[in-house]
Amino acid sequence: MIAGRSILPGAEEPLKPSRAFYARAALEVAPSLLGMHLVRADGGITRVGRIVETEAYMGPADLAAHSARGRRTARTEVMFGPPGHAYVYLIYGFWNCLNVVTSPEGVPHAVLLRALEPVEHVGHATWGPGLLCRALNIDRSLNGVDLRAEELWIERPARSASVRVGRSARIGVEYARHYARRRWRFFDRDSPYLSTATPAARRRAGITFQA
């Protein structure tokens, strides 16, 4: 039994990646997260989504990163801390966004989770960083939590299919000059839950959630 979820007899239990997995550059961790599960223990409910879209942020050189030029503030402090922790921030005064802190302590890298495929107890749209946080009830109270603990974590599912990885420039970072063109967004080519998927593609896939 894991966080209230039943594991079928004879099945392997999901595994949480090691600390060393996260202690790598964001550009290495971002594609490695595709196909893994994000799990939220939300009271008596365990919500699970399969990660299908990520973006790497490589501060301090990366002008799109919150830690650009080594900016170390109360908000960005968690990015400079140990790897494998959550960096949750608010945008537009409404949407929470979840990032995975990566690289050795003191190197402010992070991976933004941009989209999930619902797996268990997810009843809302998950194709966008704000939407997935809303669907899994993730907010700034989880900023800094250990993603290998029991409140919010990432795990390798016991059974998983291979991922056809695509990559492109990141979304919404035009202000970052030449860094805006870096192909640091990674995604599952076969998922209709990507933030860039069209409504028509989602309808063909039978997705009925409303954003």
Distances (CA, A) of 207 to 15, 34, 126, 201: 29, 20, 11, 9
pLDDT of residue 14 exceeding 50, the answer is yes
Which pLDDT does position 13 carry in this prediction? 67
Position 168 in a domain: yes
- What is the 3-class SS of 40-88, one letter each residue? EEECCEEEEEEEEEEEEEECCCCCCCCCHHHCCCCCCHHHHCCCCEEEE
The number of helices, as runs of H, and strands, as runs of E, in the chain is 4, 8
Position 209 in a domain: no
pLDDT of residue 3 exceeding 50, the answer is no
Position 14 in a domain: no
Domain with 85, as residue range(s), is 19-204
Q: In the chain, what percentage of residues exceed pLDDT 70? A: 94
Position 57 in a domain: yes
Which pLDDT does position 159 carry in this prediction? 84
pLDDT in tens, 156-205: 998 888 899 999 999 999 999 999 999 999 999 999 999 999 999 999 99
Q: For the residues 106-127, what does the mean pLDDT come to?
A: 97
Burial class (CB in 10 A: 0-12, 13-18, 19+), 136: buried
pLDDT in tens, 136-152: 999 999 999 999 999 99
Position 85 in a domain: yes
pLDDT of residue 80 exceeding 60, the answer is yes
pLDDT of residue 206 exceeding 60, the answer is yes
pLDDT of residue 8 exceeding 70, the answer is no
Q: How many residues does the chain have?
A: 211
User: Which CATH number do you get for residue 56?
Assistant: 3.10.300.10
Q: For the residues 30-52, what does the mean pLDDT come to?
A: 97
Position 3 in a domain: no
Number of domains present in the structure of the chain: 1
Position 9 in a domain: no
pLDDT of residue 24 exceeding 60, the answer is yes
End-to-end Cα, the chain, rounded Å: 32
